[in-house]
């Protein structure tokens, strides 16, 4: 997503058609954790670092960074990178990265992110590593995966998960929805010639589903995805849906058995009260608790995008928000 413009993921005409004229808000969802400090954010990925601090990276700037000691109060910590890697300009004239994903394995922090431009799937997902996970300490390793205009998918919005002793990356926005490829755990890049699995889409163009996050719990993998239109402030219609599968590569179905490849997905979080258009989600685990991080548009603050944090619980093998 380009800064605060997730609709950059689809052709301009389709983006305009999706913009609603009024906002709608439902009730019945729990409010996010009360926060203080620097709350403005988009597409957050959150992780607790080895020094005990929490870091959140996001779209905006050269992957904007926020730090917290308690998940409640957040401070601005600059950007992940001090200068853009030169290859970013092949995919974005402004070298503007989107939608990062942060994880830890093999003694290093791994940061995946997307570089693209408005209305094109000439896109790439990059990968960087750091010994600490802190902003300014990242070494970029170039492209992990890319897409071209001849492809039927869009290489943005990465989400990495380990499953069955292998490393996988979900990705995708519009252009037939959510996809997945296997990564080489050594390089962190897509396995050469890897199959591109299809996880979720919608029946009609522009296939408005993106921003995958996958959580493993019990027998199942749970696929969370953002549906509809982001980035229009209080007029955003973003919402989060979820399905599950016993295999990380799918097929994913909702609680009625409808496949996510046929437009299925249980509605998990939508607008309510001041919290408009939640989406751009990711999941992280700390102190035995799994959290969902996302952005929403604050109707009480002129539609400013802010960080939402809720605990994930489970009921009858389906996730619930606390």
Domain boundaries, the chain: 6-321
User: Catalytic site residue 210?
Assistant: yes
> Of the residues 140, 210, 228, 298, which is catalytic?
210
Per-residue confidence in pLDDT tens, the chain, 322 aa: 433 334 333 333 333 233 333 333 444 899 999 999 999 999 999 999 999 999 999 999 999 999 999 999 999 999 999 999 999 999 999 999 999 999 999 999 999 999 999 889 999 999 999 999 999 999 999 999 999 999 999 999 999 999 999 999 999 999 999 999 999 999 999 999 999 999 999 999 999 999 999 999 999 999 999 999 999 999 999 999 999 999 999 999 999 999 999 999 999 999 999 999 999 999 999 999 999 999 999 999 999 999 999 999 999 999 999 9
d(CA 234, CA 227): 16
C-alpha closest to that of 18 among 204, 179, 246: 204
Residue 15: the pLDDT is 36
pTM score: 0.92
pLDDT of residue 309: 98
Is 43 among the catalytic positions?
A: yes
Q: What are the angstrom distances between the C-alpha of 121 and each of 11, 151, 192, 249, 254?
A: 9, 8, 20, 22, 28
CATH (one of 3.40.50.1950, 3.40.50.300, 2.115.10.20, 1.10.10.10) for 6-321:
2.115.10.20
d(CA 197, CA 252): 12
Q: Which helix (H) or strand (E) holds 14?
A: helix 12-18
Residues paired with 79 in a beta bridge: 64
């Amino acid at each position: 997503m380009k800064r605060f413009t997730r609709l950059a993921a689809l052709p301009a005409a389709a983006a305009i058609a999706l913009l609603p004229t009024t906002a709608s808000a439902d009730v019945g969802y729990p409010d996010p954790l009360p926060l203080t400090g620097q709350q403005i954010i988009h597409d957050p990925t959150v992780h607790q670092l080895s020094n005990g601090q929490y870091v959140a990276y996001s779209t905006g700037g050269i992957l904007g960074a926020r730090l917290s000691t308690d998940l409640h109060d957040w401070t601005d910590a600059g950007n992940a990178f001090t200068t853009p890697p030169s290859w970013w300009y092949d995919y974005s004239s402004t070298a503007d990265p989107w939608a990062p994903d942060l994880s830890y394995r093999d003694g290093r922090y791994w940061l995946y992110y997307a570089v693209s431009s408005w209305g094109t799937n000439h896109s790439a997902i990059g990968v960087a590593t750091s010994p600490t996970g802190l902003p300014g300490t990242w070494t970029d390793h170039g492209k992990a995966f890319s897409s071209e205009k001849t492809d039927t998918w869009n290489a943005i919005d990465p989400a990495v998960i380990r499953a069955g002793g292998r490393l996988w990356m979900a990705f995708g926005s519009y252009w037939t929805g959510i996809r997945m490829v296997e990564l080489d755990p050594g390089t962190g890049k897509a396995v050469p010639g890897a199959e591109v699995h299809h996880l979720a889409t919608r029946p009609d163009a522009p296939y408005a589903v993106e921003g995958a996050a996958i959580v493993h719990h019990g027998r199942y993998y749970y696929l969370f995805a953002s549906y509809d239109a982001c980035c229009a402030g209080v007029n955003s219609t973003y919402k989060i849906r979820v399905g599950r599968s016993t295999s990380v590569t799918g097929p994913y179905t909702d609680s009625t058995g409808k496949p996510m490849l046929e437009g299925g997905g249980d509605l998990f979080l939508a607008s309510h009260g001041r919290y408009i258009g939640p989406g751009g989600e990711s999941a992280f685990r700390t102190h035995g608790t799994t959290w969902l991080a996302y952005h929403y548009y604050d109707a009480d603050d002129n539609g400013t995008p802010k960080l939402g944090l809720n605990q994930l619980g489970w009921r009858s093998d389906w996730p619930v928000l606390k």
